[in-house]
Chain A
Amino acid sequence: MTALEIKDLNVWFGHAHDRVDAVKSAGLNVMQGESFGLVGESGSGKSTILRAITGLAPHWSGTIRVEGEPLYGAKRDRGFFRTVQMVFQDPYASLHPRHTVDQVLSETIRLHGLDNIDKRVTDLLNDVGLGQRFRFRYPHQLSGGQRQRVAIARALAGEPDILLLDEPTSALDVSVQAEVLNLLTDLRSQRGLTYLMVSHDLPVIAHMCEQLAVMRSGEIVEVMSSETLRLGKPNHEYSKQLLNASVAPHQ
């Protein structure tokens, strides 16, 4: 079953002569349980696609279907929020500075209309590899990796099927990135999640995803499997350039 289907997506900001087309005619399909990567440099429109899906980028045209249900404009209902969730890029900006971890998770669980809050918070913290010691800390008492785990816990609180990951590890140290990526890998296999992951880092995408799309200036220039990427056989000129730039000469 197709978890996410995007056809002919255009996303723009501003009107008339101020209009900027961030995404042009983009299309991709993500199967259930699959991990799909969106790769591109800054300004390629990859994060904008995620925002259009979540309703954070209101001006778009084309088709977006989540588990078969079409989406419109910026309004999303509760059913959507229990199906699709997002993990943001900057761990230092995605947690409210005055709320403890406990408040963040409890509020999220409550908003999803679930009960048994205390147990759920405990379980979530365990699932993302944070113990109970972190439950009542404020964000400034957590490291970047810990904050990102809390953000992942928050995303999982509503038991979603699909996770949108916006450069989840680009602000983290290399060793912490490895831990968080491993966590995401494990969570996906344990919960049967579907991932749409955005990054500028080719090796990270190749590691985490089975399929990927390369974007440049708002357009998808190529869709390929990560195998193709590993074998160094992308078709499009730009994909090849990106691949060359990502690999140091002696690697």
Chain B
Amino acid sequence: MSDMTLRQWLLTDEPTSRRHARLASLYKGWLTLRSNSMAMVGLAILIVLVLTAVFAPIIAPQDPFVQDLSSRLLPIGSEGHLLGTDSLGRDILSRLIYGARITLYIVALVALIAPVAGLLVGTVAGYAGGWADVILMRITDIFLAFPRLVLALAFVAALGAGIENAVLAISLTAWPPYARMARAETLTIRSTDYINAIRLQGAGPLRIITRHIWPLCISSLIVRVTLDMAGIILAAAGLGFLGLGAQPPSPEWGAMISEGRRFILDHWWVATVPGLAIFAVSLAFNLLGDGLRDALDPKDGGQ
């Protein structure tokens, strides 16, 4: 093994331990992803997003909340304000950078809640069949029928406006498609010989669902979540735009667009710059999602 390079070790067809097998498998997946240049562009943009969010206090040139009414609506390229200022004189670039944190927060929360809930409901419904399936799927249908904005309004009315409630509203309407997808996959997997085989070893439904079905569903869920991210960000932005999500003075990108709406004709940058940021991040997720689909699809059979 000392003669082999790391790359050869990772590309081997004969792994020597569990860890080796896992790493080799991940590496091969990474190589497939890397060969897709568009996906790499998407990944790069997302890395920038994450780094921006993490290092916001260091990168941002100004305080995003400080108002300076004497410097309202300055254009792009102004002294000290690279991307101009908004209607209250706040630096747009700094608000954009801090807004990245909020965007990431929304994305992370929804990505954690919706697919996980969907996976649970879908796999249990698909594996159990019968009444459990019927009941769970009808519940799914009910949630699917809820219009997102109406539900968000309901939450705001009941619990008050805020980013957490917006996220909750989005998650509650985002999980049904994952449940449907997980159920469809489970139905296919359920009748395969490898599941029959493990049943014949005496495995119970819990083990089968968690260790055999979930690993196979997860790849398509990951791809689906990534592709849905664009929609989720836009939904959060939409809620922010309506004033139902992040509240002022929070630099959430959707809320920034809303505030800049009034000035779109003469001071177009106030609304457009955050809009471009949303566009870039949504596009990045889409590109990455497409690349992940190619990399994560189970490749059975030989070359």
Contacts and interface: CB of A to CB of B under 8 A. Distances in A.
A139 interface: yes
A116 to B, nearest CB: 17
A100 B300 contact: no
Contacts of A111: 198, 201-203, 207
Contact of A85 (B192, B200, B211, B299): B200
Interface in B244-287: none
Contacts, number: 81
Contacts of A102: 18, 21
Given A56-B200, A111-B201, 11 more contacts: A89-B193, A90-B193, A97-B298, A98-B215, A107-B198, A107-B203, A108-B198, A108-B201, A112-B201, A136-B16, A138-B21
Interface string B199-222: 111110001000110011000000
Contacts of B197: 86, 88, 94, 151, 154
A162 B202 CA distance: 16
B302 A143 contact: yes
Nearest to B25: A138
A107 B211 CA distance: 10
A96 B194 contact: yes
B301 interface: yes
Contact of B298 (A90, A98, A100): A98
Contact of B300 (A89, A97, A158): A97
Contact of A78 (B16, B202, B207, B216): B202
B196 interface: yes
Contacts of B196: 56, 88
Contacts of A88: 193, 196-197
Interface residues of B, number: 30
B202 A93 contact: no
Contacts of A93: 192-194
Nearest to A151: B197
A8 to B, nearest CB: 25
A12 interface: no
Interface in A95-137: 95-98, 100, 102-103, 107-108, 111-112, 133-134, 136-137
A140 interface: yes
B193 A94 contact: yes
A141 interface: yes
Given A94-B193, A95-B194, A96-B212, A140 B200 contact: no
A93 B189 CA distance: 10
A54 interface: yes
A108 B198 CA distance: 8
Contacts of A139: 300
